[in-house]
A = this chain, B = another copy of it.
Amino acid sequence: MKRLLALLAAALLSTAAHAQDAGPVERWGSKEVTLAGPRDGNPFMDVELSATFRQGERSVVVEGFYDGQGQYKLRFMPDAEGIWEYETHSNRAALDGKRGRFTVAAATAGNHGPVRVQGLHHFSYEDGTPFWQVGTTSYGWTHQPEAVERQTLTTLAAGPFNKVRMLVFPNQDVKHQPPRFPFEGAPPKAWDFSRFNPEFFRHLEQRVGDLRALGIEADVILFHPYDKGYWGFDQMPADVNQRYVRYVVARLASYRNVWWSMANEFDYLTKKQMPEWDRYFQIVQARDPYQHLRSIHNAMVLYDHHKPWVTHVSVQSGAIAEDFERAVLFRDVYSRPVVYDEVKYEGNIDRRWGQLSAQEMVLRFWMGAIAGTYVGHSEIFKDPDDMSWLGKGGTLRGESPPRLAFFRRILSESPPEGLEPIDKWQEYPFAGKPAQYYLGYFGQQRPESWPFALAKPGLEDGMKFRAEIIDTWNMSITPVEGVFEIRKRDNYSFADKNGRRIALPGRPYMALRIVRLP
């Protein structure tokens, strides 16, 4: 019966006169429908608007939003090519029952769709392309003067990062007033929380769209504690928070590169209790038709990432990514991908969280990878103009980014299923895919040679492998001469049948890549 009704509705839509919307939209692009509607009263509070988008028997309900000046919008991210139709629903006649149809073209080059969880612990784009997360953080980059924001985009375009963590609300900085605010009113605190400032959100969308064009995911942070009550966006009433979350989701969900982070350092927002965080997760889960990735970032207290609305683990830990035997532990805990989004930052400030050397920063990415997890970068250097990549964007000064580009290249040449730790608990620094591919990393150790020996799972006598020595700091890959044929050595390992070792240069930050030969 339900199916019949759907078919009937589709048939009715097909025969009705349509507003044939202009302009093509690609698969996983953003289709925008603009409608004129009431300006009276408070459109943000009074007007309800949604639309049902249909293709055949499939239908997706999308929430609309008021964009100011009598304009209402609906945005839709189609996940299939072909003809789609829509019909609007509203408590205002001017916005209700509007219909249209449009054609969705194939995705263009570089558009792989939104990022999804792949298997238990990894990511891939919706088209199946692996997503090897190499993230950075630039909290306030969308709250800067135009020139700085353009510089940030230029930096990102040339850099190694495929994900940026960024705040919706500005971060408080007494020396610098953000160009726009999310509500009507005047800084610092005279806000009308019942009226959003559409221009603020249009700007945010432009930047998310800029990242999308660069193939970079936008990890959008909904709340943060760096306001400290100055503007008060960290202390809004619960009903305002909920309306705000819905509004952001209605505006941004159609951008395929969006990830949702409920908060940065959520536990420093001491006025919000745990059930409130659950509630914001639930709102996003219910309102985002595309189920973009969802998580939340901590300071000293961990959120329970086992909760059903958490798609992946986003963690700050100052120590966990220092070695792969630590990093694997949260992977063991959660049946989800683990991203160590904050592991301290490259830099030279007085604070302990901003003093990593570039070597230490890069090491953490490698250690995370060997543990089958993902790591995040940022940097903060002393600057007379109080500029920092972490806070504002602009340019990068650290030495880690080229090494992270090299790291990302190595990842991208790994099995598409993701790197899995091979033999945990045994100080065995290899991840990969048993009997196929092994990536090992020695960190600060300076071995002068390595006995060719692989952990038992999947191996058989006579299998043959080739090896490469990777200098992760100097960014070189050196093939090792010859072929290694293995034979069972003991209950736990197979080794080269002639007992061969691989000579290593006695420097730190070396890796090995071992690939099975046909």
Name A's B-contacting residues (CB within 8 A).
Answer: 302, 304, 306, 317-320, 322, 325-326, 329-330, 332-333, 344, 350-352, 424-427, 491-492
Contacts and interface: CB of A to CB of B under 8 A. Distances in A.
A338 to B, nearest CB: 12
Contacts of A304: 306
Contacts of A319: 325, 424-427
A335 to B, nearest CB: 9
Contact of A302 (B322, B326, B333): B333
Contacts of A318: 424-426
Nearest to A326: B326
Most B C-beta atoms less than 10 A away, residue of A325, A491, A492? A325
A319 B330 CA distance: 13
Contacts of A427: 319
Contacts of A317: 329, 332, 425
12 contacts: A302-B333, A304-B306, A317-B332, A317-B425, A318-B425, A319-B426, A320-B329, A322-B325, A326-B326, A333-B333, A351-B491, A352-B426
Given A330-B333, A352-B426, 10 more contacts: A302-B333, A304-B306, A318-B425, A319-B426, A319-B427, A320-B329, A325-B326, A326-B329, A329-B329, A329-B330
A332 B491 contact: no
Most B C-beta atoms less than 10 A away, residue of A318, A319, A325, A492? A319
B332 A492 contact: no
A351 B319 CA distance: 30
A492 B320 contact: no
Nearest to A329: B329
A150 to B, nearest CB: 36
Q: What is the interface of chain A mostly: helix, strand, loop, or mixed?
A: loop
A384 B424 CA distance: 31
A40 B427 CA distance: 61
Contacts of A320: 329
A322 B426 CA distance: 11
Contacts of A302: 332-333
A420 to B, nearest CB: 12
Contacts of A306: 304, 306
Contacts of A426: 318-319, 352
Nearest to A492: B352
A344 B304 CA distance: 28
A515 to B, nearest CB: 26
A329 B338 CA distance: 14
A301 to B, nearest CB: 8
A186 to B, nearest CB: 35
Nearest to A353: B425
Most B C-beta atoms less than 10 A away, residue of A318, A329, A492? A329
Most B C-beta atoms less than 10 A away, residue of A306, A332, A344? A332
Nearest to A426: B352
Contacts of A491: 350-351
A348 to B, nearest CB: 15
A491 B351 CA distance: 8
A316 to B, nearest CB: 9
A344 B427 CA distance: 14
Contacts of A329: 317, 320, 326, 329-330
A326 to B, nearest CB: 5
Contacts of A351: 491
Most B C-beta atoms less than 10 A away, residue of A333, A426, A427? A333
A492 to B, nearest CB: 7
Contacts of A322: 325
Contacts of A344: 425
Nearest to A298: B332
A353 to B, nearest CB: 9
Most B C-beta atoms less than 10 A away, residue of A320, A344, A351, A492? A320
A312 B427 CA distance: 27
A319 B333 CA distance: 14
A341 B427 CA distance: 20
A329 B326 CA distance: 8
Nearest to A351: B491
A352 B319 CA distance: 27
A356 to B, nearest CB: 12
A500 to B, nearest CB: 24
Nearest to A324: B319
A454 to B, nearest CB: 16
A181 to B, nearest CB: 32
A306 B303 CA distance: 11
The 7 A-B pairs of least Cβ separation, nearest first, read A318-B425, A319-B425, A319-B325, A329-B329, A326-B326, A306-B306, A333-B333
Contacts of A350: 491
A155 B306 CA distance: 42
A361 to B, nearest CB: 15
